Amino acid sequence: MSVRARSAGASDGSIVRRRIGINGNLISSDPSFRSAGIATYIRRLAERLPVVDPDTDYVLFGQLATGLMVRSWGWTRRREGRIIWEQVLSPIQVRTARLGLLHSPANVAPVALGLPSVVTVHDLTFIRQPEWFHGRDRFILAPLMRLSIQRADAVIVPSASTGRDVAEHYSLPEDRIEVIPEGVDPRFSETTPVSAPVPYPYILHVGTIEPRKNLPVLIEAAARLRALAFPHRLVLVGGRGWKYEAVLTAIRNHGLEDWVVEAGFQSDLLPWYRYAAAFVYPSAYEGFGLPPLEAMACGVPTVVSSGGSLPEVVGDGAVVVPVGDVSRLVQALEMVLRDSPSTADLKRRATEKARSYSWDACAERTAQVFHAVLDSRARMGTG
């Protein structure tokens, strides 16, 4: 069913415009880990929802100007300010904005919202691996996520793997969980010439430097490849997150200070993907995993771990190795770096798989969830 078909109708048959809010306060233009992951998801939805659902007014609460009505408060860019806004001020703000529904795209919704609510849960990392988080984050996040999920009219997840985790951990009925994969920016499949970001061959990783990404395993693999006379350096693109020091220690321990390049946050990833000899994503756990798909869209031979949803997401478009298995990771990289016929076939499958993920499709299915919730509330008389 199309988005337009799910729009509310007045008694005269005309379309009734609905107002739906999106919490965009996680979006930040800072060159840090907050510009990755969930922020990309929010940006793309904010851009595409008004396009695929033009009969609805979308109100973005956050830092991004996209042509939507934007309400912005600079102090909410800090963690404490964001929590205060979400839980104390946003219920007042959304009522002032006369919204019919609020979408909370970053795991947590206002507990005392008083409106229909849709929450996107990206993963349950803090449940599966609590040691990867600050104690205060676990203390705050765990109860807020539980209440948000239990009170939500619908919960969106990016993969069936995350959906199973949410259903099992929160005892949530399957009919309240909607699996909506994220999309791949079509720019990554374009052939527009771009300049090489560095003058040497390299293996690429894109993502926040944090324990979940399992980068010490990749560092050891890079050391073994160097010992095998492969000329490819390892490039890490992404901001430094929680407990990044372990990665720096691994680099020093393997004597790779001149071989591993920490490029930091990069606003334009296309050149880095385009010129990579291989892309590697050894993450211990992912709820979706967008960087591998972006690399695949660029035709880069990609190797991922079996962590979380990654095998589901990449399908046959990437080589999958067991989490933490350095030997298998080295074998997979040796295979793709030798540019054999099997590597060419892998590139073909990668681009085909990446094309199946669309931000327009993600936005349209998300809008359908919004309207289904509002329609259900209208039938029950509890809008």
Asked if residue 162 has pLDDT above 70, the reply is yes
Considering the entire predicted model, what is its pTM?
Answer: 0.88
**3-class DSSP string for the chain:** CCCHHHCCECCCCCECCEEEEEEECCCCCCCCHHHCCHHHHHHHHHHHHHHHCCCEEEEEEECCCCCCEEECCHHHHCHHHHHHHHHHHHHHHHHHCCCCEEEECCCCCCCCCCCCEEEECCCCHHHHCHHHCCHHHHHHHHHHHHHHHHHCCEEEECCHHHHHHHHHHHCCCHHHEEECCCCCCHHHHCCCCCCCCCCCCEEEEECCECHHHCHHHHHHHHHHHHHCCCCCEEEEECCECCCCHHHHHHHHHCCCCCCEEEEECCCCCHHHHHCCCEEEECCCCCCCCHHHHHHHHCCCCEEEECCCCHHHHHHHHCEEECCCCHHHHHHHHHHHHCCCHHHHHHHHHHHHHHHCCCHHHHHHHHHHHHHHHHHHHHHHCCC
Question: Rounded CA gap, 40 and 87, in Å?
Answer: 23
* Total structural domains within the chain: 2
What confidence score (pLDDT) does residue 4 get?
A: 47
Q: Does 239 share its domain with 342?
A: yes
Q: Does 161 share its domain with 177?
A: yes
Q: Does 33 share its domain with 97?
A: yes
What confidence score (pLDDT) does residue 95 get?
A: 77
Q: In one letter, which amino acid is 6?
A: R
What's the pLDDT band for 78 if we cut at 50, 70, 90? low
Q: Does 179 share its domain with 217?
A: no
Asked if residue 63 has pLDDT above 90, the reply is no
Domain that holds residue 16: 4-183+358-380
Lowest mean pLDDT among 89-98, 206-215, 239-248: 89-98
CATH code assigned at 155:
3.40.50.2000
Q: Does 291 share its domain with 319?
A: yes
Asked if residue 90 has pLDDT above 70, the reply is yes
Average pLDDT estimate for 213-221: 96
Q: Does 190 share its domain with 339?
A: yes
For 299-353, write each residue's pLDDT tens digit.
Answer: 999 999 999 999 999 999 999 999 999 999 999 999 999 988 889 999 999 999 9
Question: Rounded CA gap, 17 and 155, in Å?
Answer: 23
What confidence score (pLDDT) does residue 65 get?
A: 42
Q: Does 97 share its domain with 149?
A: yes
For 165-183, write each residue's pLDDT tens digit.
Answer: 999 999 999 899 999 999 9
Q: Does 48 share its domain with 124?
A: yes
What confidence score (pLDDT) does residue 62 get?
A: 62
What confidence score (pLDDT) does residue 380 get?
A: 83
Lowest mean pLDDT among 17-21, 155-159, 275-279, 369-373: 17-21
Q: How much is the mean pLDDT over the chain?
A: 87
For 227-252, write each residue's pLDDT tens digit.
Answer: 999 999 999 999 988 789 999 999 99
Asked if residue 132 has pLDDT above 50, the reply is yes
Question: Rounded CA gap, 24 and 34, in Å?
Answer: 12
Q: Does 273 share its domain with 177?
A: no
Closest to 278 in 3D by CA, of 232, 220, 215, 324: 232
Q: Does 17 share its domain with 78?
A: yes
Q: Does 257 share its domain with 283?
A: yes
Average pLDDT estimate for 206-226: 95
Lowest mean pLDDT among 41-55, 122-136, 256-270: 122-136
Q: Does 31 share its domain with 66?
A: yes
